[in-house]
Amino acid sequence: MIVLRDICKAYPGITVLKNVDIEIPDNSIFGIIGKSGAGKSTLLRIASLLEKPDSGEVFYDSDRVDTLKGRLLLERRRKMGMIFQNFNLLGSRNAAENIAYPLEIAGMQKKQIAKRVYELLEMVDIKEKYKARMSELSGGQKQRVAIARALAANPQVLFCDEATSSLDPQTTRSILALIKDLHSRLSITVFLITHQMEVIREVCQQVAVLEKGIAVEHGTVAEIFDAPKTQAAKELIHG
């Protein structure tokens, strides 16, 4: 379980997060939704240990992790995968080489890397694109490469930063179906942020609504959709 307790974060001239309390159960698909500027990306970066909160605590199970430094922080980060809206792939590398990159950094032997890369390409259903350059791939195929790369080191948590917002509706549905399938097959925790209610409805089990840095509502997807309690949730659901 990931526990974000009383998280606060500010930058010069702006408070981004205010006393956010959220629990993400193990092996769940948990969504954070809010309008632009709500603080979603900052919360994800704090949960994934890319940033530290100004105050508050982050726990992975019973271990406090926001205070980790050096080798211990790197070891914890290796247990996480991240996929991004704009893919963040290396244009100088083909599909297989992009997936291999984190394994090379980890010092895995070449034969093991080759085997693992092929397994991952098969897992995300693009094994025929093994040697494809990034310029040869569609947006959906690039995101599948990015997902495979994020899964390369067998992470315990997969963080998704607006992973479908640059894709067309049909491709979005296929990527969400893939994420649901991987969650089921790998028993992995998925923590995603989005501004798209259809993404929450399609893939998430629980959701928190963020408005101006405050978690104003939190519950199962069915609870939030059937009986939203706050104006922020109502506006997101009904547009």
Query: What local confidence, expressed as pLDDT, does residue 165 receive?
Result: 87
pLDDT by position in tens, the chain (length 239)? 999 999 999 999 999 999 999 999 999 999 999 998 999 999 999 999 999 999 999 999 999 999 999 999 999 998 999 998 889 999 999 999 999 999 999 889 999 999 999 999 999 999 999 999 999 999 999 999 999 999 999 999 999 999 998 899 999 999 999 999 999 999 999 999 999 889 999 999 999 999 999 999 999 999 999 999 999 999 888 86
Residue 1 is given by DSSP the state -
Residues 6 or more apart whose CB falls under 8 angstroms from that of 28 comprise 189, 190, 205, 206
Do residues 159 and 81 make contact, with C-beta atoms less than 8 angstroms apart?
yes
Q: Give the SS3 label for residue 188.
A: coil
Cα(201)–Cα(224) distance, rounded to whole angstroms?
10
For 23, other C-beta atoms within 10 Å of its C-beta total: 15
Residues 6 or more apart whose CB falls under 8 angstroms from that of 72 comprise none
Q: Which two tokens stand for residue 72?
A: 């211990």
Do residues 159 and 186 make contact, with C-beta atoms less than 8 angstroms apart?
no
Cα(41)–Cα(94) distance, rounded to whole angstroms?
28
Q: Which residue has the tokens 């997060």?
A: 17
Q: Which residue has the tokens 């991987």?
A: 182
Residues 6 or more apart whose CB falls under 8 angstroms from that of 77 comprise 48, 49
Q: 231 vs 22, 77, 226, 236, CA distance in Å?
A: 20, 36, 14, 9
Q: 84 vs 24, 57, 149, 226, CA distance in Å?
A: 20, 25, 11, 30
Cα(53)–Cα(148) distance, rounded to whole angstroms?
29
**Residue length of the chain:** 239
Q: Which tens digit of pLDDT belongs to each residue from 134-192?
A: 999 999 999 999 999 999 999 999 999 999 988 999 999 999 999 999 999 999 999 99
Q: How many CA atoms lie within 13 A of 225 on its CB side?
A: 13
